[in-house]
Structure 1
Amino acid sequence: MKRIFLILILIFTLNIIYAEESKYREDKGLQVQLLINGGALIGYHFNDQIFLGGTSITNINEGEAVTTFDNATVQSSLLEAKILPEGLYGKKYEQGRILTGQLRISPWDTSGFFLSFGGYQEGSRKEILYFDRRDRKIGDTTYSNTSITIIVERDPVLAPLLGIGWNWIYENGFSWGFDLTGGIVNEKITKAKATVLTENTSVTNGDLAIEEEKYRKSSDLSASYFTIAMGMNF
């Protein structure tokens, strides 16, 4: 929440500082930009206030999982730290491509500020968390010398999109900007499931089921991104 608040302050500050940049939107309507964190945006300014385009974000480890084994730095992407068992030492995380179709509306013809509406599509997410061998409570029972693996999987997302951002176009055609965009998501839009594995054969299926339900309910269902874009307008 603090990061979102700071982004909003930055957007409105730049909105005041860089007035008049929108005069090039209609003259240089075609916009092609690369996203600093991976991917591309292409679209067209029909006038000073209407832009129609789309983004493809490919930096989310598409096709190949990223594995981290470092108990000093590893963190879960789909579960809050406060709910995790002790002894997390490694993870494998993968997430599919994000695609958006956006109608951007600029309320002021002297500003690059815009509101985004459209569609948001995101591939599935999968995270495997590895926990070391120790005495630990699983379900309603404490088991000794037990390691566990938690697998959290979230379905793909197809949802309405909302966002805000800012885009600056120079006289020579160079353009850049940033936006905070996300899909409107709930459990009707996407679902998560959790699986808990252990080599300790004494752990009962009932205790495993309790843990799996806990992590399923706590899985992050949000679908959003913040990106910086640079490119050219023609």
Structure 2
Amino acid sequence: MKMKPNPHLTNRKLWAIIPAAGSGSRFSKTEFKQYQIIENKTVLEHTVNRLNDLPLAGYVLAIGAQDNYAETLHFKNRQNAHFCLGGAERVDSVLNGLNYLAQFADEDDLVFVHDAARPCVTTQCLENLVKVAIEQETSAILAIPVRDTLKCVENDQDISKTVSRDYLWQAQTPQISTLAKLKKAIEVALANNIVITDEASALEYSHEPVQVVMGRSDNIKITYPDDLELARLILQAQQQILQ
């Protein structure tokens, strides 16, 4: 399904940055999770192809210095692919991607940032996120309300208290903002030694409004080896719905 042209996007372009330089140590000490195979494609190909269901002007993959594999992959709309050097941490890769984009993109263009190992995001969620960002003129993220009971565990696996779920949401990606707002927010946060866990945390530090857009629980991030099988089942189920 293709996103219908939005009149508010007429003079602005939509880009995506995919930080893909991390080793994913929780997945494996030797293997990269973004290059694991599901249904004859790498996780990264699934991720990039899903983003390209939207009318992207281009997408930037921030990859490791020794990565000679990413540029050989068969991405959708390969002619719109750009590559830049990633950084030591995810936030560094995102900033490198923004600096790369700033060479030719307009500062008011919209930029998605999406995890390389999140291949199951639906086109509808992507469209909803863009719609909110444009119509509300705000930065926005996909997220879902926390469902489970949360426990605070401090020492020796002993529960110290139960944490209220009220007002708590689990952040997902993509997260979207303008090129200028996101670049400045990350630069300011890093200059002040603020820990940046996602793009929204940098925007929050700069007092930029960020709106939550309802995501889906099947927009999983592959973190551990058994997540691969879950992602495979989700992608198969999504494909059956489209058929």
TM-score, structure 1 length as denominator? 0.24
**Larger helix proportion, structure 1 or 2?**
2
TM-score, structure 2 length as denominator? 0.24
**Larger strand proportion, structure 1 or 2?**
1
